[in-house]
Structure 1
Amino acid sequence: MTVADADGATTTVSPGENNMVTKFTVTNSSNAVLDFGLAVAQQTGNAGAHSNTDSFDATNLRIYVDNGDGVFNSGTDTLVSYIDELAADASKTVFVVSDIPLSLATGSVAAVTLTATAREGGTSGSQGNVVTQTSGANTSGMDTVFADAGGATDAQYDGMHSAKDDYTVFAAALSVIKTSTVINDPVNGTTNPKAIPGATLEYCIIVSNAAGSATATGVTVSDPLPSTVTYVADSTYLNGSVTSGVCNSDGSLGGTFSAGTVSGTLSNIAASDTKTLRFRATIN
C-alpha cells in the first residue's frame, strides 16, 4: 500500500483555529480487498513535510475518511480508526483534523504523520487482523509477500506505509500605543491648555499590524479608566487613522463605557495597517 500527502503543500492556519485539515491518499496496491488500520502521530522537532521544521503540537487530532467529494465535512465524512474493505488498486482520501493552539507566532510548524497498516479477514464493518507474510516456500494457496516501500517513519517491507503533512501558522503581529492630548482646560480654554482639574483629555489607542502578518480579526480594545478622570459620554470613536504617529479626528462613533472601562471592537486590521480607538475624559 501507499500513503501520500494529497495536499502537496503545508496547510496554513491561524492561532486558535479549530478543525484544520491535512489531506492524505491511502491506496491499496495489492491484489486483494484489505482493511487498513490508521494512526496519526505528532512529530517532535526535526524536518517537517515541506522544507520547514516542526516546532509545536496541534491538539485534538482525529482521522476521517472522505465521502467521495474530496472536501472535509465533519457532518458527511466518517470519523474512523481504519479504512474498511478497500478494493485492490482503489484509493481513499483521508483527512487528519486538528485544533491549533492560540499563542503561536508566524512560521510555527506542526508536522503530523499518518500510518496505514494492512489488515485482512474482517467482514464489512469490522476490522481484520494485521496481515502477515507467508513463511517458508511457495504454497499451493495465495501467498502474501510484502512489497511496500519505506515511508516517512516506517521501514521497507513491513506491511505498513506512512507519510507526513504539516500545518504552518500565519499570525497577526499587533502592537499597541496609547497617547493623550489636553484639549482644553477651564482657565486657558483651547490656548495652550494644561492638565489641571476640569481639563478635557483625549486618549487615543493605536493598534498596528506588522508588515507581512496575517489580517487581525475580532480585535477588541478595553481601557479601564483611573478614578482621577471621568469619561465624556458618547465620545468614543472606532477605526480612526493615524498620520505621522498622531491620531486623526476621524472614525465612527461607537464602543461602550461600562464599569469604568471603555471598550470597542475594531474592524479587521490588515498587514501594515493601523486602526484607532479614541475617546475623551475630564480630570476630576
Structure 2
Amino acid sequence: GEKELARIGREMEVTLRAIGYPGGVGDYLGQLWSDPDLVIRNNPKAIFAGFEEIGTIVKSHLGDQFSTIPAAPLEIRPVEKAVAGVSAAAFYNNPSADGRRPGVFYVNSHMTVYPKTQMETLYLHEALPGHHFQIALAQEQTQLPKFRRFNYYGAYIEGWGLYAESLGKELGLFHDPHQYLGHLTFELLRAARLVADVGIHDRGWSREEAGRYLSEHAFGYGYFEINRYISMPAQALSYKIGQLKISELREKAQKKLGDRFDVRAFHQAVLEDGPLPLDLLEKKVVNADFGMRNAE
C-alpha cells in the first residue's frame, strides 16, 4: 500500500507539472470542488450528456481490447431522489439473467456539485469495461454451471473494476489531464485503503489514527469510509489486491510473449470462466492457450 501511494503520488506530481499547476497534490485536490471548470453545478442534463459521450467513445474502442462483447444492454439512469442524499456519485446494478432487465449505471444527478474529473473513471469502473461488462459476460456463459456464472469473489470483481479504470487511455479516454488526475485520485484512495485497513485490524490503530493517516496520505479521501473499514475487514482491500494481480498477470504475459502478446486474448482468458479466486485465476491465465505458458 505504501509503495503504491508513493508511485501514484509521483505520477500525480508529474501530471500537475505538465499542466503548469504550481501547487502540490493536496492543493489540487483541495480546490477541486470549488473550481467551476472541474465540476458540474445543478445541471443533471450536463451530467447525463457527459456520461453518454464517454460511453460512445469507450464503445467505439471495445473491439480493440475484447474479442467477446456482452449482449446485455446497459442503461444510464438517475438515482431515485428519495435515496440521493445517501447515494454515491454513481453505482451499478446487474442485468437479469434472462435478459429482460438491462444492466443499469445509476448516476446521482441530484448532487448539486458533480465531480467532472471523476466521470471517465466512474464510467470505466461501473459500466464499460468494468462491472457491467464483466458481470453480464459471466452471466451469458450458459455452458458454465450457475455457481460460476453468478458467484461473487470480491477481489476478482472489484479488482476487475479497478483494472478496467487503467484501460482509459487504450479506450480513447484520459486525453484531458484533469480526467487522468481524477483516475489517479481514485487509485490513491484504493492504495490508502490497503494501509488503513491493515492498520486498524492488524496494527491496532484507533479510528483517529486511521483518520490521521488518510488525511495525511490520501488528503482526506476515504476518511468517511472508516466505519466501513472497521465493520468489513479486508473488503476495501479487494479492489487493489485484485487489480494488482490482474495487472501482474498481464505484465508477465507481455514480457514472455513480446510482440505475440494479444490483449484481446488476455482479457478473454481473464473473463471467460466467470469470477474466480485469484489463485485459480492465475493458474487459468498462466495455462491459457494464448501461449503464455510455453513462451520462451
Q: What's the TM-score, normalizing by structure 1?
A: 0.21
Which structure is higher in strand share? 1
Higher relative contact order (CA 8 A, sep 6+): 2
Larger C-alpha radius of gyration, 1 or 2?
1
